[in-house]
Amino acid sequence: MRIFDPHIHMTSRTTDDYQRMADAGVKAIVEPAFWLGQPRTSAGSFADYFDSLVGWEPFRAAQFGIRHHATIALNPKEANDPRCREALALVPRYLDKDSVVAVGEVGYDAMTPEEDEVFAAQMAMAVEFELPALVHTPHRDKARGVDRTLAVVKESGIALDRVVVDHLNEVTVGAVHDAGCWMGFSIYPDTKMSPDRMVEILRGHGLDRILVNSAADWGRSDPLLTLRTGEAMLAAGFTDDDVDKVLWRNPVEFYGQSGRLDLADPGEQDATFEGSSILRGGS
């Protein structure tokens, strides 16, 4: 099984996780910019974070043969903090980087006027930089949040098949399917979706325009729930080719729209330096 996790926050994960992911067949990942649990207090903090998403984290991933890409945006939660708002001006510069394959995570948290403004501004950036968009949906008041999200997406003028609306569930998948956007599902140990429920959604809605991710971060989460979902699909009678479509070809198709996806084996390029291993510890 080859796996492309289209949404995982590796900044919060250890090298043990990278090793387990590589052993499980994860060969490519996209790490969206989001919040870090601890609130940031300045734009400079975002600059360091964005630098890490296009610098240190791909370097770390490459040591395990995993190709790392990023999406960049000011997240909706911190869009509400005036001290962080200046980070919006940093975003365009990062959207030009080779490994940035979408604008994201944009969207709503508490659906404030500040979030409206930052969401719309960043959808305009997606259009300007010809990048897809990764849209987070709120964990509270989700159904109405998804409707409002789709209205902002349509208003932006972006092609709807260049947008993934993420963290969907049984209640919210229909509206996104009907809108023509990609449907993202985060598989979690307790909250969001489980592998078995995901299989039921695949049965009901088919395999097209579906992205399955672990969204693993600093909370209780599991970077191998993509694998577990693939296993649950097989147990439910889906074929190996079906699993490959959901866990590999779909994310390649979606993020490939950026024109920047580079899936060459990083083990050949980065993990060795002129023949020397760099897998030993740092200094």
Residues that bind other proteins (CB under 8 A): 54-56, 58-59, 93, 96-99, 259-260, 270, 273-278, 280, 282-283
Nearer to other proteins, 178 or 274 (CB): 274
Return the SS3 of 37: coil
Pairing of strands 100-107, 67-72: parallel
Q: Check: CB of residue 187 under 8 Å from CB of residue 223.
A: no
Residue 37 CB, nearest distance to other proteins (Å)? 24
The total number of residues shown for the chain amounts to 283
Nearer to other proteins, 47 or 236 (CB): 47
Report the distance separating Cα 250 and Cα 269, nearest Å: 25
Nearer to other proteins, 55 or 65 (CB): 55
Residue 202 CB, nearest distance to other proteins (Å)? 35
Residue 86 CB, nearest distance to other proteins (Å)? 15
Nearer to other proteins, 117 or 130 (CB): 130
Report the distance separating Cα 177 and Cα 165, nearest Å: 10
Residue 78 CB, nearest distance to other proteins (Å)? 21
Nearer to other proteins, 93 or 140 (CB): 93
Nearer to other proteins, 56 or 218 (CB): 56
Residue 127 CB, nearest distance to other proteins (Å)? 16
Gyration radius (Cα) of the chain, Å:
18
Report the distance separating Cα 272 and Cα 158, nearest Å: 40
Report the distance separating Cα 264 and Cα 141, nearest Å: 41
Q: Check: CB of residue 61 under 8 Å from CB of residue 18.
A: yes
Residue 126 CB, nearest distance to other proteins (Å)? 16
End-to-end CA distance of the chain: 35
Token reading at 4: 């492309």
Nearer to other proteins, 142 or 260 (CB): 260
Residue 1 CB, nearest distance to other proteins (Å)? 29
* CA atoms lying within 13 Å on the CB side of residue 101: 25
* CA atoms lying within 13 Å on the CB side of residue 198: 35
